[in-house]
Amino acid sequence: MISIKTEAEIAAMRRTCRLAAETLQMVEHHVVAGVTTQELNDICHRFILEHGATPSPLNYRGFPRSICTSVNQQVCHGIPGKRILKSGDIINIDITTYLDGFHGDTSKTFHVGKPTPKGDKICQVAKACLDAGIRVVRPGARLGDIGWAVEQMALSHHCTVVREYCGHGIGREFHEEPAVLHYGKPNTGTMLQQGMIFTIEPMVNLGKPEIRHMPDKWTVVTRDHSLSSQFEHTILVTATGCDVLTSLDGEYLCSLPLENY
Ligand code: MF3
Ligand code: CO
Ligand code: CO
């Protein structure tokens, strides 16, 4: 069952999603050579608590930290620790906040210091893949349309989409129905309805799509050691399009109904 959010639930989702986005914006300033992923975790943890929320990942299915930090060939679910970032690294920081009973989920991949050509390419393509998915979202579109748009964007740049992980419905639970695959066939799958809220969060590899799990049981890496990048937003289906609940800067205003201008 895919929940259709009420107006009150949507208002609460706007608040938690805004806090998740603000946490990501705040931590970006700390992504510099020499910082450890544990320090980034602690900065986010404190910020989230100071704003009356808790970090959803902490103790989620035994996850031991408050955010996920995935560096270079790490695809997702990296555990913050002693690793020291260096110039030329890319790092995805994935923030999920739990505020007043609702989860908000967003991530971006950042460059540490000066971007490398490969780092620059994979981050630009991964962002373009998320945006291609977002552009599809409106009532009557189907989940297969999103997956198809995302994967076509990756393939058109000779990159690949990880198949083992997907976007998800979100609300009172961190991960709800539906599963939002980042590949698919146009005109297939569940039809989108106004009031649905879900994430789109493609993991895009510079090389082959296959992944492997590290011995810590959480960190996912590319099997061929190629770079991987991910961007994630939490998205509300509106009457005529969508509202990107985790964007702060009007970046996606073009996809909103006219009355929002
Ligand atoms: N935030 C991730 C997502 O986008 C999930 C992280 S689960 C954790 O769905 F346990 F690793 F935190
Ligand atoms: Co998510
Ligand atoms: Co996330």
Query: For residue range 210-220, what is the model confidence (pLDDT) as tens digits?
Result: 999 999 999 99
State pLDDT tens for residues 125-154.
Answer: 999 999 999 999 999 999 999 999 999 999
Instruction: Please give, one letter per residue, the 3-state secondary structure of 174-233.
Output: CCEEEEECCCCCCCCCCECCCCCEEEECCEEECCCCCEEECCCCCCEEECCCCCEEECEE
Region 174-193: mean pLDDT is 98
Residues near ligand 1 with C-beta < 6 Å? 57, 60-61, 63, 68, 77, 94, 96, 105, 201, 232
Q: For residue 6, what pLDDT is reported?
A: 98
> Given ligand 1 and candidates 63, 94, 168, 216, which is best to mutate, with the most ligand atoms within 8 Å of its CB?
94
What distances in angstroms separate CA 130 from CA 145, 158, 246, one per listed residue?
A: 13, 16, 13
Name the more confident of 258 and 93: 93
Q: For residue 254, what pLDDT is reported?
A: 55
Contacts of 166 (CB under 8 A, 6+ apart): 179, 180, 181, 182, 201
The mean of the pLDDT values for the chain is 96
For residue 222, what are the β-bridge partners? 211
Strand (E) or helix (H) holding 106 = strand 102-111
> Given ligand 1 and candidates 76, 103, 175, which is best to mutate, with the most ligand atoms within 8 Å of its CB?
76
Are 254 and 206 a contacting pair, CB within 8 Å? no
**How many helices (H) and strands (E) are present in the chain, helices listed first?**
4, 15
Region 53-59: mean pLDDT is 99
Region 7-13: mean pLDDT is 98
Looking at CATH, the fold of the domain delimited by 7-250 is given as Creatine Amidinohydrolase (3.90.230)
Neighbour-count burial of 134, counting CB atoms closer than 10 A to its CB (0-12 exposed, 13-18 middle, 19+ buried) = buried
pLDDT band at 255 (very low <50, low <70, confident <90, very high): low
Q: Give the residue extent of every domain in the chain.
A: 7-250
pLDDT surpassing 50 at residue 261: no
Region 170-197: mean pLDDT is 98
Region 109-127: mean pLDDT is 98
22 Cα–ligand 3 center, Å: 14
State pLDDT tens for residues 69-112.
Answer: 999 999 999 999 999 999 999 999 999 999 999 999 999 999 99
98 Cα–ligand 3 center, Å: 12
Parallel, antiparallel or unpaired: strands 228-230 and 203-205? antiparallel
Question: Residue whose CA is closest, atom 4 of ligand 1?
Answer: 105
Handedness of CA 80, 84, 87, 89 (dihedral sign): negative
Question: Residue whose CA is closest, atom 12 of ligand 1?
Answer: 57
Ligand nearest to the CA of 66: 1
